[in-house]
Amino acid sequence: MKARVLTKVAAQSILKNKMRTLLTMLGVIIGVGAVIVMVAIGQGAKRRIAEQVASLGTNMIVVTPGAMRLSGVSQGGATSNALTLEDAAVLERESTLLSAVSPVVVTRGQVIGGQGNWRTSIQGVSTSYPLIRNWTLESGTFFSTVDLRSMRKSAILGKTVAFNLFPGEDPVGQPIQIRSVPFQIVGVLNRKGQTPEGIDQDDVILAPYTTVQTRLSGRSWIPQILASTYSPQDIPEAQEEVRLILREAHELPSYADDDFAIRNQGDIADAAASTTEVMTLLLSAIASISLLVGGIGIMNIMLVSVTERTREIGLRMAIGARGSDVLKQFLVESVVVSTLGGLIGVALGYGCALLVGRIAGWSIAISPSTTLLTLGFAGAVGVFFGLYPARQAAALNPIEALRYE
């Protein structure tokens, strides 16, 4: 029997019992739709995390102090006083793979100015910081090397700070007071948004690290050094170069552990995305159970259909139809039902994913490969669960089938 004829006969059989066919497809529709929604939300979350990690900087390497030990007990990462401004200077001077280096001196304080006050993070950085973080200015200018050397009290506001201190106006040129130290605003940063950990990157004030260290921090050690490479391919080699330079600068013997830690954006991205990926796989696996339930429903209905159409099957076989023709007919019916259910489920899943994204404000990403894979799985469910009823139909004895009441 030709494929065109098989499909036509299958379609006629399906359309005879529209309600039963719809109920049969319901499990597949729900399963496919649920998988599409779960994967769309998970892929959207991964894309959002990737965007957030990319917003951290360009080919960025982060150097932090190592763990301090008290009486042999480790106090955890970034607790030692191992990093200094001299380390940043050595890296900038001796590295061949780093395109930019900036020390980061961090403190917190109350800021007064404009129409109120705001407690925020003040970061002392160098002129290379915007290049490393890929951070541009909305207005004003960044401070210069001259400002660094002269310890000028210049401040650049993040969007969150600018909004809270100077709502609805450009604060460039306005004075502010950080703790008891007067600063002048020279620029406002463009919005960055949150990090994968949910930290607001715009809730910050940047100033020359020389000024922050001498006027606000008062510490000789620094909590962080940021650097960037010329290309992403240079990152692994650059990390090893940084490690060797700092070990030599700290005069560490070969048997001693590093007293600092080095990370890159890839490490940050992997850590941030791992939980999302696991949750997406788990939810998709749960949603896939609906497909299996739908497949069992298809098998049950097809078995009922074989019983109802026993005389029809006997008649077909009596006038020359072979067992393989009957098997193909029922198998095609099963595949058509599951595939139609899959198509409806894909449309429903797309709609639900877009609705969830709009209502919850989540990022949604639906890939064509996921859609095709889900449709293929729905068709495979039809084949797998339709095979047994089809074989039962093909194995009927024509004489006994004609006598069936």
pLDDT score, position 405: 54
Of residues 36 and 393, more confidence is placed in: 36
Residue 309: per-residue pLDDT:
66
Look at the chain and count its residues. 405
Burial of 350 (0-12, 13-18, 19+ CB in 10 A): middle
Reported as a pLDDT band with limits 50, 70 and 90, residue 329 is confident
Taking only the tens place, the pLDDT of each residue in 208-243 is 999 999 999 888 889 899 999 988 888 889 999 999
> What integer pLDDT is reported at residue 368 of this predicted model?
80
Q: Look at residue 304 in the predicted model and tell me its pLDDT.
A: 72
Q: Is the pLDDT of residue 376 over 60?
A: yes
- 342-371 mean pLDDT: 81
Whether the predicted pLDDT of 125 surpasses 90: yes
Mean pLDDT over 267-277 rounds to 62
pLDDT of residue 122: 95
Q: What single DSSP character describes residue 77?
A: T
Which has more pLDDT, 67 or 96? 96
Confidence of residue 402 (pLDDT cuts 50, 70, 90): low
pLDDT score, position 56 = 63
Apex CA 144: angle with CA 136 and CA 63, to 5°? 70
For a pLDDT cut of 90, what percent of the chain falls above it?
32
pLDDT band (50, 70, 90) for residue 94:
very high
What's the pLDDT at 70? 43
Residues 6+ apart with CB under 8 A from 33: 345, 346, 348, 349, 352
State how far the Cα of 130 lies from the Cα of 189, in Å rounded to an integer.
10
Give dist(CA 225, CA 98) in Å, integer: 12
Beta bridge partners of 262: 63
Total Cβ atoms within 10 A of residue 202 = 19
- pLDDT number for residue 80: 56
Q: What confidence tens digit (pLDDT) does each residue in 235-263 have?
A: 889 999 999 999 999 988 888 888 888 88
pLDDT at residue 90 greater than cutoff 80: yes
Sign of the four-CA dihedral 45, 50, 53, 54:
negative
Lookup: tokens for 391: 């074989």
**Which of left, alpha, beta for 151 (phi over 0: left; psi -120 to 50: alpha)?**
left
pLDDT at 74: 43
According to the model, what pLDDT value does residue 78 have?
A: 44
Q: What rounded mean pLDDT belongs to the chain?
A: 80
Give the model's pLDDT for residue 390. 74
pLDDT tens track for 161-202: 999 999 888 999 999 999 989 999 999 999 988 776 678 889
Per residue in 300-309, pLDDT tens? 777 777 776 6
Which runs of E-coded beta strand occur in 246-365? 260-264
**Higher local confidence (pLDDT), 165 or 275:** 165
Range among 73-77, 266-270, 329-333, 372-376 with highest mean pLDDT value: 372-376
What is the spatial distance between Cα 317 and Cα 319, in angstroms, rounded to a whole number?
6
| pTM (predicted TM-score) | 0.61
